Amino acid sequence: MSTDYYALLGVSRDASPEEIKKAYRRLARELHPDVNPDPEHQERFKFVTAAYEVLSDPEKRQMYDLGGDPLSARGGAGGAGGFGATFDFGDIMDAFFGGNSSRGPRQRSRRGQDALIRVQIDLSTAVFGGTRDLTVDTAVRCDACHATGCAPGTEPATCPMCKGRGEIQQVQRSFLGQVMTSRPCPQCQGFGTRIPTPCPECSGDGRVRTRRTLTVQIPPGVDTGTRIQLTGEGEVGPNGGPAGDLFVEIVVSAHALFERHGDELHCSVAVPMTAAALGTSVTLDTLDGPLDVEVKAGTQSGEVVTVRGKGATRLRSGSRGDLHVHLAVQTPTKLDPEQEALLRQLADLREETTVQVGTSSEHHGLFSRLKDAFTAK
For 127-167, write each residue's pLDDT tens digit.
999 999 999 999 999 999 999 999 999 999 999 988 888 88
Secondary structure string (H, E, C) spanning the chain: CCCCHHHHHCCCCCCCHHHHHHHHHHHHHHHCCCCCCCHHHHHHHHHHHHHHHHHCCHHHHHHHHCCCCCCCCCCCCCCCCCCCCEEEHHHHHHHHHCCCCCCCCCCCCCCCCCEEEEEEECHHHHHHCEEEEEEEEEEEECCCCCCCCECCCCCCEECCCCCCCCEEEEEEEECCEEEEEEEECCCCCCCCEECCCECCCCCCCCEEEEEEEEEEEECCCCCCCCEEEECCCCCCCHHHCCCCCEEEEEEECCCCCCEEECCEEEEEEEEEHHHHHHCEEEEEEECCEEEEEEECCCCCCCCEEEECCCCCECCCCCCECCEEEEEEEECCCCCCHHHHHHHHHHHHHCCCCCCCCCCCHHHCCHHHHHHHHHHHC
CATH number of 5-97: 1.10.287.110
Domain regions of the chain by residue span:
5-97, 106-143+205-254, 259-333, 336-377
Mean pLDDT of the chain: 83
What is the pLDDT at residue 175?
58
Task: Please give the CATH architecture assigned to the domain spanning 106-143+205-254.
Answer: Sandwich (2.60)
- The answer to whether the predicted template modeling score (pTM) of the entire model surpasses 0.85 is no
* Common-topology check for domains 5-97 and 106-143+205-254: no
Each residue's pLDDT tens digit, 262-288: 999 999 999 999 999 999 999 999 999
What is the pLDDT at residue 263?
94
Each residue's pLDDT tens digit, 292-329: 999 999 999 999 999 999 999 999 898 999 999 999 99
Task: Please give the CATH architecture assigned to the domain spanning 259-333.
Answer: Sandwich (2.60)
Q: pLDDT above 90 covers what percent of the chain?
A: 49
Q: Which tops the pLDDT comparison, 178 or 359?
A: 178
What is the pLDDT at residue 61?
84
